[in-house]
Structures are given as structure tokens and as C-alpha cells.
Amino acid sequence: MFKKSFFIVLFGMLTLISVAQTDIHASIANDIKTGNITDLSSHFTDNIDISIDDIDAIYSRSQAAMILKKFFNENKVIEFKTEHTGNASQDNQYIIGKLKTDKGNYRVTYFISTTNNKSKIKQFNIESY
């Protein structure tokens, strides 16, 4: 009886974690599509590695938000599609997407780390192609 209850609880927890990860991916994708930097930056770690064109450094959440806001103000989003997701390690995922703007096409790659059941973006890259 105990084993059965344990596995039911474990399955339920894994399902919730999976749903939460799907929700964060959908939320981030929507934030990129709409250029909503305020909501996007709420998913950032306190310090995040940002790489856009000639910018490549670690910034605070607020500094990163300003840099991305400038990018999205200068590049109006037409479309964003997630192309690939994967696990870099047990607690780290990566997402690769294609961003189409009025000024060009970009590959967006971001890495999400999960600590204490909280998923946050720790690295965000935008490169033209």
C-alpha cells in the first residue's frame, strides 16, 4: 500500500513539474513574440549572460531588461518560433528559436536553470543569420 501511494505522489509531482516547465516555455515564447521585456525579464536570474551582436557580458536583471528593450524597440517582432528544446544537464535546459523582425532574422538561444523547483533564464543570446 505504501509503495503504491508513494508512486502515485511521485507521478503527480513529476507531472506538475512537467506542466510548470511547459508553462514557462510558453510564457517566454509569448514574451519574445510580443516583445514584452517586463514579463520576459521576470524569468531572468539575478545576473544573466546576455549576448546580442557586439554585446556579450553578464548583467543584472534590470540592465539586461534595458538592453533587450533597446533591441526589441529597434527590431519589431514579426514572428518567433521555437525550433528545438533539450536538456544540457539534469537541471539545465536550452531552447533555440527563430526570430523574424522587420530588420532581419535572428537565432534566439536561451538557457534555463532550475533550482529549488524554480526555473529561471541564466543566458540569453540573439544572433543574426
Residues 15 and 73: their CA atoms lie apart, in Å, by 38
Would you say 91 and 113 are in contact if contact means Cβ atoms under 8 Å apart?
yes
Unique residue bearing C-alpha cell 557586439: 54
Residues 45 and 113: their CA atoms lie apart, in Å, by 9
Q: Please tell me the predicted confidence (pLDDT) of residue 14.
A: 44
Instruction: Render each residue's pLDDT in the chain as its tens digit; 129 residues.
Output: 556 655 555 454 444 444 444 589 999 999 999 999 999 999 999 999 999 988 999 999 999 999 999 999 999 999 999 999 999 888 899 999 999 999 999 999 999 999 988 999 999 999 999
Would you say 67 and 51 are in contact if contact means Cβ atoms under 8 Å apart?
no
- Domain with 108, as residue range(s), is 2-128
Q: How many domains does the chain have?
A: 1
Q: Can you give the CATH number for the domain in which 24 is found?
A: 3.10.450.50
Residues 41 and 31: their CA atoms lie apart, in Å, by 9
Q: Please tell me the predicted confidence (pLDDT) of residue 5.
A: 59
Residue closest to 84 by CA, chosen among 100, 67, 107: 107
Q: Please tell me the predicted confidence (pLDDT) of residue 92.
A: 92
Residues 117 and 57: their CA atoms lie apart, in Å, by 26
Residue closest to 85 by CA, chosen among 14, 21, 39: 21
Q: Please tell me the predicted confidence (pLDDT) of residue 53.
A: 85
Residue closest to 44 by CA, chosen among 67, 70, 15, 14: 67
